[in-house]
């Protein structure tokens, strides 16, 4: 199921404008920081504050790129990527049980963007399930490589499947409801699909499907 078209289009437009403004303001701040560096001595105590400003600007621009990806205002450079290896890297220290079935798991992906999407899925699952019970499975299904994420849920109500990827939709008291919406945008930019197979107060199951990239 997809988010309501009108809601998603309005959110994408908002994120595109926000990303543009964030880049502009961060660029201006960085420019003034460099001018200040030119007027200060290397041993000035202010240098430390300027370094913090630069680091903050870097975080702002990184967030801006995630908004661009969600809004799909720029094309991602997709390269052959081992989905199983990437998922293992993301969940290295997380309490997740991963099953990788035999087959070709190479997909066309932007590794950084896909890591962000998988990390968001795992983070969302941990918020719902706590520190145990999360299961992930990678397998081939026809011309696709699929990734299933199944986790227990402690919410009083199940997620409404066709609203799961709507911006700001959440069944929990905390959180902004942007995690799955952002994942939906990233997956779409990979010519892939994501859907919620089932949701109850006890369990949710998500499925991502990528076109398999045959290795030559």
Considering the segment(s) 79-211 as one domain, its CATH architecture is 2-Layer Sandwich (3.30)
d(CA 43, CA 66): 36
Structure confidence at residue 167 (pLDDT) = 58
pLDDT (average), residues 107-120 = 89
pLDDT digits (tens, 9 = 90+) for 70-85: 666 556 788 999 999 9
Tell me the whole-structure pTM to 2 decimals: 0.62
Q: What percent of the chain has pLDDT above 70?
A: 74
Q: Identify the band that residue 95 occupies on the pLDDT scale cut at 50, 70 and 90.
A: confident
Which of 151, 148, 183 lies closest to 167, judged by CA?
Answer: 183
- The full set of domain ranges for the chain reads 5-71, 79-211
What tens digit of pLDDT does each residue of 19-36 get? 777 878 888 888 888 888
* Residue 48 per-residue DSSP state: H
Rounded average pLDDT over 167-190: 67
């Amino acid at each position: 199921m997809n988010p309501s078209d009108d809601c998603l289009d309005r959110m994408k437009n908002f994120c595109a404008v926000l990303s543009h403004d964030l880049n502009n303001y961060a660029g201006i701040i960085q420019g003034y920081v460099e001018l200040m560096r030119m007027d200060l001595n290397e041993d000035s105590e202010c240098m430390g504050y300027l370094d913090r400003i630069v680091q903050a600007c870097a975080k702002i621009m990184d967030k801006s790129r995630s908004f661009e990806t969600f809004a799909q205002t720029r094309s991602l450079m997709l390269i052959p990527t081992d989905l199983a290896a990437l998922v293992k890297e993301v969940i290295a220290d997380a309490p997740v049980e991963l099953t990788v079935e035999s087959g070709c798991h190479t997909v066309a992906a932007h590794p950084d963007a896909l890591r962000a999407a998988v990390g968001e899925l795992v983070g969302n699952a941990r918020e719902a399930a706590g520190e145990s019970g999360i299961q992930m499975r990678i397998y081939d299904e026809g011309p696709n490589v699929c990734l299933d994420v199944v986790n227990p849920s402690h919410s009083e109500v199940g997620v409404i499947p066709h609203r799961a990827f709507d911006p700001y939709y959440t069944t929990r008291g905390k959180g902004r409801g942007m995690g799955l919406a952002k994942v939906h945008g990233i997956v779409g930019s990979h010519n892939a699909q994501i859907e919620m197979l089932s949701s109850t107060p006890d369990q949710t199951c998500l499925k991502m499907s990528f076109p398999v990239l045959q290795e030559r």
